[in-house]
């Protein structure tokens, strides 16, 4: 906030020349049309005997920050929100279908189910919300935008195939987000299913099954034969109970956009997941730079509804433009919603001009010194498993008392888009040994600006990280 000398003088009913003189005495040379900042103006006003009250800047984020609940009694249990992850072809889509079908009540059987990006089922008179887009890619892309939607991750592992690279990825992504994992051991109907082998592989990944003395719930299921589905739902509710998920249905809604598109007939359509409060037809909301007056809401069975409470997914009509998936939404009064949308658009443009700076290896030491980081998250990709292991071990050993090296994901193969999204969401640096980013990863890297370091010599990688940790790294040009 700034003001010209001329305007300030008018407001204070003094001559501009007097202000200029006073500023000269304070060591500032200014002209009458020059803008001075709020702080200088305040000092000046005080010099002339005015009481100064600096109005806080219009700060959207603090304005929209969720007020903590003052009355604990207002908090009611809410359904858990579940994402299904796992290796390709292990049965994620089949499982989501099976869950949806087993739980459609008799009266609704044959009714139209509609894909809106999430759906709810009932078990023991309690609801469970499933995100309908399987995979950790979508999950992490949302997280990279700051959205925390998932309460429980269901990890699908095929009993005839076992733990595969994307299984490990999914585990790491869920762990990085601090989301508890329930394992669905799928395809147990297959003659070559080998649950014990899979359990051993899970244990190797730190997911020790309960019947082996660990605390990972493993539920044998067959998505194809619809076996074990009820048990799985039961276990999800059990985990949800431990999490004590609660929300207050009696406040204006807030939540996350989980899908969006431009519909030819209906205009911009977005599926939102209400995370707190209740969303009503007629509410106005802001999501990122987009504004909406809720014209209609449609649930996962294709029915029009007038309200949606905590953990409920609904399609919302009435957006001015298509909002981005992963964006948070908040219900506010219309004038404010419009104002915020505008401010954000301006800010976004500004930010686009300056490239987004994620953590770079050169910054590591400064950030350690400033106490901003206590651990250095790394993702390690290499051409062969042996190198992954050698490099990972060596890097982990570089941790010091001030900063721990945290390998959030390691793997064999090219650097992929999901690696970039995970790095972006976790503030990690990617170390590649004898591998490069693939095409999609390169595009994502341009967007997300994460630091990728490529090496052909393990020693060089170790040296760079060591140098970064001790503040000796030369910037890379």
Which residues of this chain interact with ligand GDP, rule CB under 6 A? 86, 88-94, 134, 186-187, 189-190, 222-224
- With respect to ligand GDP, which residue has the nearer C-beta, 12 or 224? 224
Structure tokens at 452: 């990728």
Whichever of 91 and 411 has its CB closer to ligand GDP, that residue is 91
> Is 86 annotated among the ligand-binding residues?
yes
* 90 known ligand binder: yes
Q: Are 437 and 423 in contact (CB under 8 A)?
A: no
Least distance (Å) from ligand GDP to the CB of residue 228?
Answer: 9
- CA–CA dist 268, 261 (Å, integer): 6
Rounded to the nearest whole angstrom, what is the least distance from the CB of residue 131 to ligand GDP in the complex? 13
| Residue 132 assigned as binding residue | yes
List CB contacts of 45: < 8 A, sequence separation 6 or more: 8, 12, 52
What is the C-alpha separation between 107 and 466, in angstroms, rounded?
A: 64
* Whether the Cβ atoms of residue 276 and residue 298 lie closer than 8 Å to each other: no
Angle at 120 between CA 71 and CA 74, to 5 degrees: 5
Comparison of 139 and 455: residue with beta carbon closer to ligand GDP: 139
Confirm whether residue 439 is marked as ligand binding.
no
Question: Which 3 state secondary structure label does DSSP give 319?
Answer: strand
In sequence order, which ranges of 87-228 are alpha helices (DSSP H)?
A: 92-102, 136-144, 165-176, 195-204
What is the length of the chain?
Answer: 477
Question: Alpha-carbon distance 411 to 305, whole Å?
Answer: 46
Q: In this structure, what token pair is assigned to residue 119?
A: 């759906």
Tokens of 316: 């919302």
- Pick between residue 199 and residue 254 the one whose CB is nearest to ligand GDP: 199
- Nearer to ligand GDP (CB atom), residue 123 or residue 187: 187
135 annotated among ligand-binding-site residues: yes
- Closer to ligand GDP by Cβ: residue 150 or 186: 186
Handedness of CA 64, 287, 277, 155 (dihedral sign): negative
CB of 330 to ligand GDP, least distance (A): 33
User: CA-CA distance, 180 to 340, in Å (whole number)?
Assistant: 35
- Work out the end-to-end distance of the chain between its first and last CA atoms, rounded to an integer number of angstroms: 37
Strand partners, 82: 130, 152
Is 91 annotated as a binding-site member? Answer: yes
Q: Is 409 annotated as a binding residue?
A: no
Instruction: Compute the least distance from the CB of residue 156 to ligand GDP, in Å.
Output: 6
Non-local (6+) Cβ contacts of 226 within 8 A are 98, 101, 102
Q: How far is the CB of 99 from ligand GDP (least distance, A)?
A: 12
- To ligand GDP, the closest distance from the beta carbon of 135 in angstroms equals 8
Which residue in the block uniquely carries the two structure tokens 């000398």?
5
**Is 299 annotated in some ligand binding site?**
no
Strand partners, 415: 437
Nearer to ligand GDP, 94 or 416 (CB): 94
> Do the annotations mark residue 133 as ligand-binding?
yes
Least distance between ligand GDP and beta carbon 132 (Å): 12
204 is in an annotated binding site: no
Instruction: Tell me: is residue 410 an annotated ligand-binding position.
Output: no
User: What's the rounded Cα separation, in Å, for the pair 55 and 75?
Assistant: 34
Nearer to ligand GDP, 143 or 187 (CB): 187
Q: Closest approach of Cβ 236 to ligand GDP, in Å?
A: 18
Q: Which residues belong to the annotated binding site for GTP?
A: 86-93, 132-136, 186-189
Q: Which residues belong to the annotated binding site?
A: 86-93, 132-136, 186-189
């Amino acid at each position: 906030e700034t003001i010209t000398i001329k305007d300030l003088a008018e407001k204070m009913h003094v001559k501009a020349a007097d202000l200029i003189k006073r500023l000269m005495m304070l060591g500032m040379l200014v002209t009458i049309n020059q803008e001075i900042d709020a702080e200088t103006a305040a000092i000046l006003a005080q010099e002339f005997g005015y009481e100064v009250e600096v109005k806080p800047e219009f700060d959207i984020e603090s304005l929209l920050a969720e007020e903590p609940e003052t009355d604990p009694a207002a908090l009611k249990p809410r359904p858990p929100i579940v994402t299904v992850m796992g290796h390709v072809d292990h049965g994620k889509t089949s499982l989501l279908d099976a869950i949806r079908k087993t739980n459609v009540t008799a009266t609704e059987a044959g009714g139209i189910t509609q894909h809106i990006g999430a759906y709810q089922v009932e078990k023991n008179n309690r609801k469970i919300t499933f995100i309908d887009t399987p995979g950790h890619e979508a999950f992490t892309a949302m997280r990279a935008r700051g959205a925390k939607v998932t309460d429980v991750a269901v990890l699908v592992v095929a009993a005839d195939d076992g733990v595969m690279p994307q299984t490990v990825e999914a585990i790491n992504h869920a762990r990085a987000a601090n989301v508890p994992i329930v394992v669905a051991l799928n395809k147990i109907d297959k003659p070559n299913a080998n649950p014990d082998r899979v359990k051993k592989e899970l244990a190797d990944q730190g997911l020790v099954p309960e019947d082996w003395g660990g605390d990972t719930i493993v539920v044998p299921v067959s998505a194809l034969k619809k076996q074990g589905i009820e048990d799985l739902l039961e276990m999800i509710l059990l985990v949800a109970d431990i999490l004590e998920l609660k929300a207050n249905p009696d406040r204006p809604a807030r939540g996350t956009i989980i899908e969006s598109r431009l519909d030819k007939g209906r205009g911009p359509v977005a599926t939102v997941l209400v995370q707190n409060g209740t969303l009503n037809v007629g509410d106005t909301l802001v999501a990122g730079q987009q504004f909406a007056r809720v014209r209609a809401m449609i649930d996962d069975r294709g029915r029009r509804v007038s309200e949606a409470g905590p953990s409920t997914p609904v399609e919302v009509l009435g957006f001015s433009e298509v909002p981005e998936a992963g964006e948070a939404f908040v219900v506010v009064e219309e004038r404010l919603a419009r104002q915020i949308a505008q401010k954000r658009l301006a800010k976004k443009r500004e930010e686009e001009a300056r490239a987004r700076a994620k953590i770079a290896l050169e910054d590591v030491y400064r950030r350690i010194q400033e106490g901003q980081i206590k651990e250095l998250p790394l993702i390690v990709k290499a051409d062969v498993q042996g190198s992954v292991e050698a490099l990972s071990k060596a890097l982990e050993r570089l941790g010091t008392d001030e900063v721990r090296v945290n390998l959030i994901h390691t793997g064999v193969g090219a650097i992929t888009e999901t690696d970039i999204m995970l790095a972006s969401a976790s503030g990690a640096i990617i170390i590649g040994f004898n591998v490069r980013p693939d095409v999609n990863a390169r595009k994502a890297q341009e967007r997300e600006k994460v630091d990728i370091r490529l090496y052909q010599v393990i020693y060089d990688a170790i040296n760079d990280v060591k140098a970064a940790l001790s503040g000796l790294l030369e910037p890379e040009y």
